[in-house]
Structure 1
Amino acid sequence: MRARLGDRIVIEPAGVNGRRRVGIITGVGRADGLPPYRVHWLDNGHTTLLFPEVGAHVEPRGGGDDEHASDRDPRSVDR
């Protein structure tokens, strides 16, 4: 798992009574994007240090894997 500042991290519930958590990554432990991450949790406003486990995934800032997606004209079509 690799992340950058501003990416979202999502923790999916592990059991029936679990809850989904979403946070914004405000700090990355290593230059290559590997954990630990400092995360600002959207549900309670707390900031914690996170070592992600199974059930966690990163959603890149901007909503897609292409870091330049916002630079494209949505009307253009690659041929």
Structure 2
Amino acid sequence: GVRVELDGALGHPGGRTDADTWRDNAVLLATREVTLRYRWRHVAVTPCRVAVQVVGALHRGGWRATPRPCGPGCPVVERRRVSVAL
């Protein structure tokens, strides 16, 4: 299965680790691990970018459905593979 962790400000104050999240998740996807970690800011400000990574993890696990985009220009459907450089 795929696990998604949403970390809050109490355990990670000031957003000091926000930038590391994208890199860490890309490494986890590249090594086939399935725990993705996000801060509230990632989900609230860049939900499509979060969705691209979650869909990538689900596809690697065998999910073959097509995700529903949130609107025009949403990258979630356009990405067939999740890049390590997200």
- Quickly name the TM-score band, shorter chain normalised: under 0.3
TM-score (norm. length: structure 1): 0.24
Larger Rg, first or second structure (1 or 2): 1
Please report the TM-score for the alignment, with normalisation by the length of structure 2: 0.23
- Which structure dedicates a bigger proportion of its chain to strand? 1
Higher helix share: 2
Higher relative contact order at CA 8 Å, sep ≥6: structure 1 or structure 2? 2
